Structures are given as C-alpha cells and as structure tokens.
C-alpha cells in the first residue's frame, strides 16, 4: 500500500522514454527499442489499470489531465455556441452549457467544468458550482425543451460549493429545482459521468433517461475524505471509505444505478483524449438514436420509472 497514490509512476517513466525516442531522427536504429517500450507501456498500463483499488480509481477520476466537458465538446461537437448566465444573479464558470451540432443533430450540452492550470482552476472554482450554475443549467434545459433539442449532460464535480454566498442564494433550492424539472422535461436527457460524480452537486445534472459512467469515473453520496472524516473521524481512512462506499462504475452498474460503463482507453481517458471522447460519442449517438422516436410522455414516464426503482429494502 506504500505506493498507493503513485501507481502511475512506472507508466510515466515509460511514456517519458518513448517521447524521448520519438524525437530521434529516423534511421538512427532506435525503432526496435521504441517498439519494445511501446509494448512494455501497453502491458504495464493494462496491468496497473486492471487492478485499481476504489481509492486509486478516485485518483484517476480526479486526474488533472483527464478530459473535461469542454474537451468533449471540442472533440465531438461542431458549431458550439456557449451561453451564459442564470438571468438573475451571475454566470457560473463551474458549469458550461450551450448548443452544438453532434454527429448531424442539434443538441443542448451542459456539464461541470474544472480548470486546467492554477489560474483556470480557481476561475472554475475547481468545478464546484454555486446556485447560479444550476440555474443556468435549468435555463438551458428549458430552452432545449422549447426548441425540442435533446439534452446531453456531462458530470465532473467534487460537489456543489459549500460557501456562505452559495447558501444565501439557495444552493439546496437550486439543486432540488433541477431534480424535479429534469424529471419533468419533455425531451431526452442523456447523462454521462466523466470524472467525479460528487453527491447532490452531480445529481443536479443527473436525472436522465440514460445514465452512463466512464470506466474510471466515480459517483458517490459523499467524497471518500468526507465519509472518512465523519464515520472514522479520520480523513486518512479515505481509501477504506472509498471501498466501503461502492463508488466505481462497475459498482454502480451492479447496483442498477447506471445503464452502461463506457470503457476507457488503455491507461485511462487522460492517456488518450481522442479515443476517450470518441467512445463517449459513440454511446451518446446510440442512445440518441434509441430515444429519438419517444414521445414526451414516454420520456417522462421512463425517467419516473427508472428512478422509482432505485433503492434496496425489504417489504415484510
């Protein structure tokens, strides 16, 4: 367990050596070595990612190089028109949303946005929305309904921001409102958890006809750190908490909470943005095709039925 957080180290080293050799001029006799290293990287990546613990999966889900919502939009969408603001208080950069063409269809896209680099991370508030972010999302849901566009949401947040202003402006109400309005929306909603599905702040974009998760994303009622602090009274027990919470994509698939796990490229989505985005694109396209004939009433009934079935209890 000593190197639990550093499981990617052997891959990073191999990648660095491959990059170095790739820079050599052709014909300098390094090709055989390059092939060998590529083979070794592939093998090692399969080995490392084949036995990630839930805590390690959490770290992959939070990886700084992981594709974010705007990367998916960049790889998959054309004619992206980003729209801003909740029309009552502010624009929240922790949620992006707008209109785009996806494989020949107009769609509304809404997702959490984490930043890349310190400055943007702060600007995006590390992907932790305030109420105005959820209200902007709601505005776009309603706009999509008005113009009969399907909605694609991408979830990647540590959670809704716990701050004084956020509470004053009704963080709870904003999340609650989205839950009921998403349940009621007359157009298809397809949800993909791409990174961190952090509690209510994630679910506020999560009430869909289809819910997918990337292979190394997580979705949880509380962060492993928060859970460890409350139940173990010790933040350092986060790895145990991560296991106990059953927060991986395969766990959620087993619990019936999601419709499918989207396999990631070898070494994780951060190792190959293009491949990761295309895999997400393929499953989104398939889901859109499946839902394109459904009536508004069928879509609403399907969401109601889907979420009504979630939970585990006995009835004596």
Partner 1 sequence: MPWFKKTKKPKPLRSDRARSTVPEGLWVKCQGCREIIYSKELARSLKICPKCGYHFRIEIEERIRLLLDKGFAELCSDLRPIDPLSFKDTKPYKDRLKAYQKRLGVPDAAFVLEGTMQGIPVILAAMNYRFMGGSMGSVVGEKIARAAEIATDRGIPLVVVSASGGARMQEGILSLMQMAKISAALNRLRQAGLPYISILTDPTTGGVTASFAMLGDINLAEPGALIGFAGPRVIEQTLRESLPEGFQRSEFLLEKGFLDMVVPRPELKAMVVRCLRHFTVRSIA
The footprint of partner 1 (CB under 8 A) covers 160, 162-164, 166-173, 175-177, 179-180, 183-184, 199-200, 203-204, 206-207, 219-222, 226-227, 230-232, 240-241, 244-247, 251-252, 255, 257, 300, 303-304, 307-308, 310-316
Residue 80 vs 307, nearer CB to partner 1? 307
Question: How far is it, in rounded angstroms, from Cα 46 to Cα 304?
Answer: 39
Query: Smallest gap, in angstroms, from Cβ of residue 231 to partner 1?
Result: 4
Residue 189 vs 271, nearer CB to partner 1? 189
Query: Smallest gap, in angstroms, from Cβ of residue 133 to partner 1?
Result: 13
Give the burial string for 273-310 (b: 16+ CB within 10 Å, else e). Answer: beebbebbbebbbebbeebeeeeeeebbebbeebbeee
Query: Smallest gap, in angstroms, from Cβ of residue 261 to partner 1?
Result: 14
Residue 7 vs 89, nearer CB to partner 1? 89
Query: Smallest gap, in angstroms, from Cβ of residue 47 to partner 1?
Result: 28
Kindly state the DSSP code that residue 286 receives in the 8-state scheme.
H
Which of 257, 263, 195 is CA-nearest to residue 223? 195
Query: Smallest gap, in angstroms, from Cβ of residue 232 to partner 1?
Result: 6
Kindly state the DSSP code that residue 121 receives in the 8-state scheme.
H
Residue 113 vs 248, nearer CB to partner 1? 248
Q: 311's torsion region: left (phi>0), alpha (psi -120 to 50) or beta? A: left
Q: Please enumerate in sequence order all residues whose Cβ is within 8 A of that of 306, keeping only pairs 6 or more positions apart, or say none.
A: 209
Question: How far is it, in rounded angstroms, from Cα 199 to Cα 263?
Answer: 23
Query: Smallest gap, in angstroms, from Cβ of residue 160 to partner 1?
Result: 7
Query: Smallest gap, in angstroms, from Cβ of residue 105 to partner 1?
Result: 26
Residue 65 vs 167, nearer CB to partner 1? 167
**Phi, psi for residue 89 in degrees, rounded to 5:** -140, -55
DSSP letters for 236-283: GGHHHHHHHHT-BHHHHHHTT--SEEEPPPTT-GGG-HHHHHHHHHHH
Residue 150 vs 226, nearer CB to partner 1? 226
Residue 8 vs 194, nearer CB to partner 1? 194
């Amino acid at each position: 367990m000593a190197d639990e957080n550093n499981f990617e180290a052997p891959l990073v080293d191999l990648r660095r050596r491959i990059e170095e050799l790739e820079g050599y001029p052709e014909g300098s006799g390094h090709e055989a070595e390059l092939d060998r290293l590529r083979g070794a990287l592939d093998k090692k990546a399969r080995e490392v990612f084949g036995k990630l613990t839930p805590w390690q999966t959490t770290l992959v889900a939070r990886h700084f190089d992981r594709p974010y919502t705007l990367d998916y939009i960049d790889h998959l969408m054309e004619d992206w028109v980003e729209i801003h603001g909740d029309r009552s208080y502010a624009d929240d950069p922790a949620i992006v949303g707008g209109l785009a063409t996806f494989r020949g269809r107009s769609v509304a896209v809404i997702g959490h946005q984490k930043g890349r680099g310190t400055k943007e991370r702060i600007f995006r508030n590390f992907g932790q929305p305030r109420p105005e972010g959820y209200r902007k999302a709601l505005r776009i849901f309603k706009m999509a309904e008005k113009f009969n566009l399907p909605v694609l949401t991408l979830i990647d947040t540590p959670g809704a921001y716990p701050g004084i202003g956020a509470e004053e402006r009704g963080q709870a109400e904003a999340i609650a409102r989205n839950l009921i309005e998403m349940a009621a929306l007359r157009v298809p909603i397809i949800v993909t958890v791409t990174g961190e599905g952090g509690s209510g702040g994630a679910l506020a974009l999560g009430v869909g006809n289809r819910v997918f998760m990337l292979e190394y994303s997580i979705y949880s009622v509380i962060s492993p750190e928060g859970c460890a602090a409350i139940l173990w009274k010790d933040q350092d027990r986060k790895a145990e908490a991560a296991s106990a919470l059953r927060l991986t994509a395969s766990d959620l698939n087993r619990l019936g909470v999601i419709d499918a796990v989207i396999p990631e490229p070898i070494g994780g989505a951060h190792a190959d943005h293009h491949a990761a985005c295309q895999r997400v694109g393929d499953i989104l396209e398939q889901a859109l095709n499946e839902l394109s004939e459904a009536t508004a009433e069928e879509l609403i009934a399907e969401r109601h039925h889907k979420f009504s079935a979630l939970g585990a209890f006995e009835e004596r």
